[in-house]
Amino acid sequence: MSRQSSWRFTFLVLIVLALVVLSILRRSQVPPQRQVEVERRSPPESRLYRSSRNPHRREPGSRSERDRTAGASCDLLGVTCDTEYFAPWQEPGDNSCTVSTSNGYPIPDPRCTPGGIDGSVTLQTLQNPQWRTRCVRDCETSEAEKHAAYRWYSLQKPADNSEENQVCELDHLVPLELGGADGMGNIWPECGPDGVALEERYFKMKDRVENYLAEEVRAGRIPLDAAQRGIATDWTRYLAAANQYCNAGGRC
């Protein structure tokens, strides 16, 4: 074989080897579309479910108009009216939900009130001095529409339910000040107990937990998603720490 033929043969072999290596490398890489799908998947404990079957959903424009009237800066903060639940949710039937207890305090039925968040409200949003809960309050369901939760839980709203006589509150399980959603799967009637001072009623005790967690989250001591999921699962787990926070001069 001549030198020229030998050089050509060697060159062809090198080209074939290069093509084989490139083919192997391409097969080992995840295609861009597949890679996006993998990145979007979350482990079961962090999965969220978008609200898609809420008949009370309102158009975002009504929220924006109300916020402009109130002088809020919600649009500048990038806050939208959005709901993502911690479990699949559909509107319950009347008398189908049951309140249970934990540490002697009421917690909602997770089938009816799994809790949820507004994904547009981030830690940076909560740390912004311009943030106000009115940016999302009643943005998806009105106060009157929220009363359906009483029927779900077989409860009658008290006729005189204000100021010192208030014994029930239609509560956001994940509070708005922690980025909670305004969807009905995050709403439950928190009632009782009778015969105690207003500050000792259950919804006031939960307010302590909400204030404590909001402070811890803004200060970076508790991750936002951990606080949101924790209070949705069992708000009473934080009550001892919240009482200490309150007694030390925190917001009660």
* Domain region containing 11: 3-40
Query: Does residue 213 sit within a domain?
Result: yes
Q: 73 φ, ψ to 5°? A: -110, 35
Q: Does 34 score more than 90 pLDDT? A: no
Q: At which residue do the structure tokens 């978008």 appear?
A: 50
Tally of domains in the chain? 2
Same domain, 65 and 161: yes
Q: Does 171 score more than 70 pLDDT? A: yes
Q: What is the mean pLDDT of residues 94-116?
A: 97
* Rounded-to-integer distance, Cα 63 and Cα 133, Å: 12
Contact 53, 91 (CB under 8 A): yes
Look at the alpha carbons of 141, 142, 144, 147 in this order and tell me if their dihedral is positive or negative: positive
Q: At which residue do the structure tokens 């740390």 appear?
A: 127
Same domain, 199 and 136: yes
pLDDT tens-digit profile of 49-97? 887 544 444 444 444 455 444 444 788 899 999 999 999 999 999 999 9
**Per-residue DSSP letter, 190:** E
Specify the 3-state DSSP secondary structure of 51. Answer: coil
Same domain, 168 and 207: yes
Which two structure tokens, joined as six digits, stand for 224? Answer: 């936002």
What pLDDT is recorded for position 15?
Answer: 74
Following DSSP, what letter does each residue of 118-185 receive, concatenated? -TT--HHHHHSTT--GGGTTTSSS-HHHHTHHHHHTT----SS-SGGG--EEEEESS-GGGTB--SGG
Same domain, 30 and 70: no
Same domain, 83 and 22: no
| Share above pLDDT 90 across residues of the chain, in percent, rounded to a whole number | 66
Same domain, 154 and 214: yes
Give the burial string for 48-60 (b: 16+ CB within 10 Å, else e).
eeebeebeebbee
Q: What is the pTM of this model?
A: 0.77
Same domain, 183 and 225: yes
> Of residues 167 and 17, which shows the higher confidence score?
167
